[in-house]
Amino acid sequence: MKSNGNSVISLEDVLNQIAPDGIDGPLPPVHLWTPQNCTDIQMEIRADGAWWHEGSRIKRERLVKLFSRILRKDADGQIYLVTPYEKVIVHVEDAPFVAVRVDRVGAPDRDQVLAFTTNLGDVVAADREFPLRVETDPETQEPSPYILVRGGLEAKLSRPVFYELAEMAEAHEGCADKLGVWSNGHFFELGPAA
């Protein structure tokens, strides 16, 4: 792989930089990397969480998981795959991750913890730093629920996960018309009671 036309960087060197401990080790420090080269190679994450490149679905799960570990959302709102040498534009249809599971830890009260697992194995507990939010389509009133996973990157909650949350929902004190859930001592509004 050529980085700037003059030097050649091996794929193995790149992989060692971005995942020295493999795809199950700590996340690479993408926030520290400032590559000058930026390209668009028609990389896409569709609403169902599937990754596509130049019109073909990427079916190798390990490759998708590796790519997901080097995602970054920059100040311009664009999502990129980032290495120390280059960043690649990723076209995201909805959210880069899908929350496919929710687990409640503790008794159902203010101190319970709601932990969400994404389609790529990330686990995040809803709290002040990793909030739940719900956008409502103004025309259809269809809710779109999300949880922050890391660095501005969100997971959209799958329909079954959102239904589980709806079953846990309760009215907030002094606001009977709004339902939500507690996690780590924080109340997250899901939508109207009616």
How much is the pLDDT for 21? 56
Identify whether the C-beta of residue 63 lies closer than 8 Å to the C-beta of residue 14. Answer: no
Place 173 in a pLDDT band, splitting at 50, 70 and 90.
confident
When pLDDT is averaged across residues 101-129 and rounded to a whole number, the result is 94
- Average pLDDT of the chain is 87
| pLDDT computed for residue 31 by the predictor | 92
At 192 the pLDDT is 79
Of the candidates 87, 176, 97, the residue with the CA atom closest to the CA atom of residue 130: 97
- Sorted by sequence, the CB contacts under 8 Å of residue 58 that are 6+ apart come out as 50, 51, 52, 64, 67
Question: 11 versus 46: which is more confidently predicted?
Answer: 46
C-alpha distances out from residue 21 to 13, 84, 97, 100, 118, Å: 13, 16, 22, 26, 21
